Structure 1
Amino acid sequence: MPSPYSYDLRIRALKMIDEGILITQVSKLLKISRDTLHRWKNRRDHTGDVKARFGYQTGYNHKISDMKEFQKFIDQNPGKNHQQLADLYPVEMSAKTMGVWIKKLGYTRKKRASDTKNVMH
């Protein structure tokens, strides 16, 4: 996400608008979109200030919060596939998500024993 415009620029732009310069002219002079200027103006009218919002970007809420507990769960259920593990795990998740978290632990999936004998006819 791009960094927000500086507080000084916001104040300067709104001061120009208050002095009677059209929003389209201010947007061309400062190279800021008209929508952004309207948003700043509305924010100032509603809150009294035009400071950038912060702290609203919380990131992803991970399905698994305790990796040690998850590893213990995986070790207690050997031989089960991702779908069976996802069904047994107390937090609802898809089989694909279960596979991603198992891979993060460093486990690999169960491989089938292949026929190594080369038969030529």
Structure 2
Amino acid sequence: MMDYQLLKHVKYFNISRNTIYRWKHLKRETGDIKAKPYGPAKGYNAKIDLKEFEELIINHHDKTSKELSIILGNRLQRTRINYYRKLLGYTYKKTHFHSKRDTVLRNELIERR
């Protein structure tokens, strides 16, 4: 059966029983019932110097975003690296000298046109 004090507090503060149970559980687990801080998780909002990043891109122009993340010590996620690449105007494009390019097939396609 529900505790009378609990019912009294539920009605007084206009909150659910579940809220009080969660607070009691949090107090038992962490020793405090402070609210968690709002905002983005720490580490995901890393600020970088764009000039340094541009030099890194110039020096490692053939690296993928995953490889650049490893070079940076995993300070930036791959999506952020791609975002900064696009911001600086450096995008990964296959060129005429790309290793996976099939020149014979490409020449056949050009001749058909």
TM-score (structure 2 length as normaliser)? 0.47
